[in-house]
Structure 1
């Protein structure tokens, strides 16, 4: 004889379990860079609930009503802080690793950009690497490594590109924590801010330029051990804070 009671949906239970795991992963990532995150989350929760209690006392309204409002608001505040710290912590922990720039390029720059899967140039000794990107502003060389050490490599790559694409704008972004470099966290924003005047490539032109560049390095370059961006990738859901 069957019972009318319905057992909990296994899919919902799995989703809830995954949600809790994502919060745990986000907290772990954040705490590596921001040890104070636990105190901050507790402080936000207490402050919001205390504010709800204070408003209830001052307005002589029902305490339960303000607690019902305050508790979800405390949760939202905590999740907002956790999302922010997780994102910044993940980028901070990735910075300086070979292949970190490629991971950002694949994840964060969005539509309208073409990112080559293989590096344009590599120094196997120092693990300095150059990635080629094509978008509305033109061709962008994203260089990983100290400015002084990678200058010649970037200049050589720029000359190759200008020989076959003399009318397409060429930009160079050097990624790293040093002076004159773009921080990993700011890479996608820097790309979006590149000038598109007087030349702005159309979708068709981006495709054509990408094909020309692919022919320039049709043999491809092997990625040395330690520069594989797939190995440097943190948990994507944890990075988003959810």
Structure 2
């Protein structure tokens, strides 16, 4: 029996699945959530209790406020630690950078594996406010650099006027660690207006149409994290 896709699960089941996956690499996750919930409830209770007011209505507001702040604290800690656990589980797997880039919000277009080697060194492409970002990942910095250089030349032929950035995801010197990849990409600036992106994407479609139909590299690809992001934010 196949496992249902995350988008086909109810929000409650998605939360349970996210918790179960995160707990594998973060055994104390439950204690952290409980502690944050109790601390948030205590702070919320104290703050609202100190506000002017009296009678049963004030008591109700105080209790409800404590519960809500407690839940907010617990969910905040859960979201952060679950995301950290997800990165920890993905790091080092082929395609991990593509899964992390799936966390980018609207206004970004991510194309996983636009180029690769037989050794599973890959280049992903991101189009967004900074321009075009080519993200490389793999086991050999030399092969990744050569692959990025090749892709840069191909892209410059069709979108020469669009800013183009190269990023290597990894833990070696000069590389960007997986947990910091999305933040790094979003801080590259705002050089392309939304109206210009349509033209850029159309030109890239022409570039991709001329690529050889070579099969994608074999091996498991990590689950896209976009569902987890939306789920933890209540979307």
Scaled by the length of structure 2, the TM-score of the pair is 0.73
Aligned match of 1:9: none
1:54-87 residue CA offsets vs partner (Å, 9 max, x unmatched): 9979x99879644443233222211121122112
Secondary structure at the counterpart of residue 173 of structure 1:
strand
Distance (Å, rounded) in 2 between the aligned partners of 1:176 and 1:133 = 17
Q: Could you say what the CA RMSD is over the residues aligned between the two structures, in angstroms?
A: 3.4
Runs of 5+ consecutive residues of structure 2 not aligned to the other structure: 1-8
Distance apart, 1:116 and its partner CA: 3.3
**Aligned residues, how many?**
217
Please state if 1:30 is matched with 2:22: yes
Partner of residue 193, structure 1: 187
2:107 matches 1:112: yes
Taking structure 1 as reference, are residues 180 and 160 closer, same or farther at Cα in structure 2, changes over 3 Å only?
same
Greater relative contact order: 1 or 2 (C-alpha under 8 angstroms, separation 6 or more)? Answer: 1
- Cα separation, 1, equivalents of 2:93 and 2:159: 31
Choose 172-181 or 204-213, whichever is displaced more: 204-213
Q: Deviations over 1:128-187 (max 9, x none)?
A: 111233334333211012534411222222233334444333211111233322222333
Q: Secondary structure at the match of 2:27?
A: coil
Question: Which runs of 5 or more structure 1 residues have no equivalent in the other structure?
Answer: 1-16
How far does the alpha carbon of each residue in 1:183-214 deviate from its partner, in whole angstroms, 9 at most, with x for none?
A: 223333322222445x7681342133213322
Q: Which has the larger radius of gyration?
A: 1
Q: TM-score, normalised by structure 1?
A: 0.71
Partner of 1:87: 83
Secondary structure at the aligned position of 2:33 is classed as: helix
Measure, in 1, the Cα distance between the counterparts of 2:125 and 2:48. Answer: 56
**Pair 109,24 (structure 1): closer, same or farther in 2 beyond 3 Å:** closer
Matched with 1:12 is none
* SS class of match (1:188): helix
